[in-house]
Chain A
């Protein structure tokens, strides 16, 4: 049960995009179509999971003082690997989103998970956290991509840069409404059904 809880906490309760507003640049820039969004989600997942596992495996050997530069170098190495792989096997997609695959290295979501989890916890816990965070990011970018692509049919602005900010803001407000409603429902349930 514990890994499941950690996974959903990383993906939903602590969603990197919707709750912590990390990794906004790729989220908004590459969500113009679902295909681009999926490509970047997969690339980010590989970089985050790979870097987190490597840092977790060597966490006792990395000196405290130079840990941040070491983490950045590890993330940069995985970013390079993903770039080379995408250029070789998915060239069309890579041409469309190349700049944002290259700057995965500066995605604060990844550095935050490596610093807060991978540098302190075991391989298993790190893996669950990395996959949960990646799933949360993928869900956010895919939902935004799908909403923008669907809205473009009647509202061409949605595909343009201003549309990205507007649609993301409205979706986030929708998430807040849903969260508030769920919270109220839970409170009502508690009042009506006192624990046995």
Chain B
């Protein structure tokens, strides 16, 4: 149990997927304009992460490894993730059309969120068991959520500030993320 918690905390804070491992930056920058879209985006990503982690674990173990097809791993995993995202999109559209509109293009783009593929590939390359894989996925989702909500809150505050012309937009966003990453670097002392 302690080991599982360690994996969760490590993925969420010490080795934060976005700020330390550079995974999932596109949606991080793209849908962090407002806190109201950052939260549902996180929930959708966490759901996809969990389902994709279980799906890829089972396919890898009982199909790819069992039949010696490991070289098909990237192709198989991206298909599973795309199917999971499709399913999530259908679910969100039925459950909340408003939310579906708000997330727009970023919902189908979870397929190309490299954090999702990254989690599944890391889990396989480190030979994690199913519970370990699930906790890694949960930690990655949590870390993505913490970072994107904090970043969205920061961006809401700095949009109206008088920023020097060359720093408007993306450069300021990158510098802001840099300082957030610096803050997260403080978690290194936690071990993991």
Contacts and interface: CB of A to CB of B under 8 A. Distances in A.
Interface of A: 21-22, 24-26, 28-29, 69, 72-73, 76-77, 79-80, 83-84, 98-99, 102-103, 105-108, 111, 157, 160-166, 168-170, 172-174, 176-177, 180
A72 B166 contact: no
Contacts of A21: 29, 170
Given A72-B78, A72-B82, A103-B114, A24 B25 contact: yes
Interface residues of B, number: 43
Of A29, A107, A172, most buried by chain B (CB within 10 Å of CB) is A172
Given A106-B112, A180-B166, A25 B25 contact: yes
Contact of A80 (B23, B71, B125, B177): B71
Contacts of B29: 21, 24
Nearest to A163: B178
Nearest to A171: B171
A162 B178 contact: yes
Taking chain A's interface residues, is the majority helix, strand, or loop, or is none over half, making it mixed? Answer: helix
B25 A99 contact: no
Given A25-B25, A25-B26, A172-B170, A162 B71 contact: no
B29 to A, nearest CB: 7
Given A76-B74, A80-B74, A162 B181 contact: yes
Contacts of A162: 19, 178-179, 181-182, 185
B165 A25 contact: no
A29 B21 contact: yes
B63 interface: no
B87 interface: no
Interface in B139-192: 165-168, 170-175, 177-179, 181-182, 185
Contacts of A22: 26
A173 B24 contact: no
A79 B172 CA distance: 33
B172 to A, nearest CB: 7
Contacts of A176: 165-168, 171
A29 B173 CA distance: 17
Interface of B: 19-26, 29, 71-72, 74-75, 78-79, 82, 109, 111-114, 116-118, 121-122, 125, 165-168, 170-175, 177-179, 181-182, 185
Contacts of A76: 74-75, 78
A125 to B, nearest CB: 24
Contacts of B166: 173-174, 176-177, 180
Nearest to A177: B166
Given A22-B26, A79-B74, A169-B174, A106 B185 contact: no
Contact of B178 (A25, A79, A105, A166): A166
A95 B25 CA distance: 23
B72 A80 contact: yes
A107 B165 CA distance: 29
B22 A28 contact: yes
B186 to A, nearest CB: 11
B170 A105 contact: no
Contacts of B167: 169, 173, 176
A152 to B, nearest CB: 15
